[in-house]
Chain A
């Protein structure tokens, strides 16, 4: 079931884009694999996530992405959990929803992607 977005969500600075991004995916995958829908469960729907059930929070309806490969290394440097993850590359196009730049204190190239439809599984490929 696809949840209804909260009011004023996505934010007004979220835009359609044609841009390449990187995402942490399951560590059981291998280079060249295509991540399946389990790697594209929104935080509010993901029982493994700290944000599970937070349908009122707009950010929980978005996937986290990095645009700068260097931030993958930064995230791994600070957060050991990410060292066991693989990295997939994907290109978000204008028909796939909207993206906002949501920089983190560490990981300035962090973006949030609100997919359309919400359960969209993009074509991605594990690169590292």
Chain B
């Protein structure tokens, strides 16, 4: 049994990933049966003390950006990908209240802080398989070199181009020296 809204315009939702569960999920991602992903956050309580959630529809790319900390939760809410923004109750005892909301209509006290970055380690690039490199090198009849770079402060499996410049020059020099 899902704890999230069912039978609403959001779709039938299932929890995907919970970032904070405090007497129930308060910041989480969810997916509908049709694959639409949402990031949801508890922003207030109604007069009955029940939590009110913002549900932000996100693409796969936007979700990775939020999860990895490239984009703050606040920025994501203020710059939604679509024109429709939805909030509602994640419960159905008295019926589900669901309202469309434009980003500009979100009350300021419903927004996370500016420095609310999730910073969860996230694979933002396709996983590298060494066997594929070997296969490609055989097919192209040339040597290929793979470098593994781990920078602890990066939550994404991408590397800033500026930071790569010196490193790649050093590698090129080493290869030349070795082949010479």
CA distance A46 to B50 in the complex (A): 10
Tell me whether A78 and B116 are in contact (CB under 8 A).
yes
Question: Is B42 on the interface with A (CB-CB < 8 A)?
Answer: yes
- CB contact between A104 and one of B1, B22, B110 (< 8 Å): that residue: B22
- CB contact between B20 and one of A43, A79, A83 (< 8 Å): that residue: A79
Residue on A nearest B109 in the bound complex, by CB = A80
* Contact status of A75 and B20, CB under 8 A, knowing A81-B26, A105-B120: yes
- Please give the distance in Å from A6's CB to the nearest CB on chain B: 14
Tell me whether B45 and A78 are in contact (CB under 8 A).
no
Q: How many of chain B's residues have a CB under 8 angstroms from any CB in A?
A: 37
Tell me whether B19 and A106 are in contact (CB under 8 A).
yes
Residue on A nearest B49 in the bound complex, by CB = A48
Contact indicator per residue, chain A 46-66, by CB within 8 Å of chain B (1) or not (0):
111111101000010001100
Tell me whether B43 and A80 are in contact (CB under 8 A).
yes
CB-CB contacts below 8 Å: B112-126 with A:
112-113, 115-116, 118, 120
Question: Is B41 on the interface with A (CB-CB < 8 A)?
Answer: yes
- CB contact between A78 and one of B17, B19, B21, B52 (< 8 Å): that residue: B19
Tell me whether B21 and A64 are in contact (CB under 8 A).
yes
Question: Is A77 on the interface with B (CB-CB < 8 A)?
Answer: yes
CA distance A90 to B118 in the complex (A): 29
Tell me whether B91 and A52 are in contact (CB under 8 A).
yes
Tell me whether B27 and A79 are in contact (CB under 8 A).
yes
Tell me whether B91 and A50 are in contact (CB under 8 A).
yes
CB-CB contacts below 8 Å: A76-121 with B:
76-84, 104-107, 110
* Contact status of A84 and B27, CB under 8 A, knowing A50-B91, A54-B3, A79-B20: no
Question: Is B152 on the interface with A (CB-CB < 8 A)?
Answer: no
CA distance A107 to B112 in the complex (A): 15
Most buried by B among A46, A63, A76, A81: A81
* Contact status of A24 and B3, CB under 8 A, knowing A47-B93, A48-B49, A106-B27: no
CA distance A56 to B94 in the complex (A): 22
- CB contact between A51 and one of B19, B24, B73, B109 (< 8 Å): that residue: B24
Enumerate 16 A-B pairs (CB-CB under 8 Å) in ascending A order: A48-B49, A49-B24, A49-B91, A50-B25, A50-B91, A52-B93, A77-B112, A77-B113, A78-B113, A79-B27, A80-B111, A81-B43, A81-B51, A83-B109, A104-B21, A110-B22
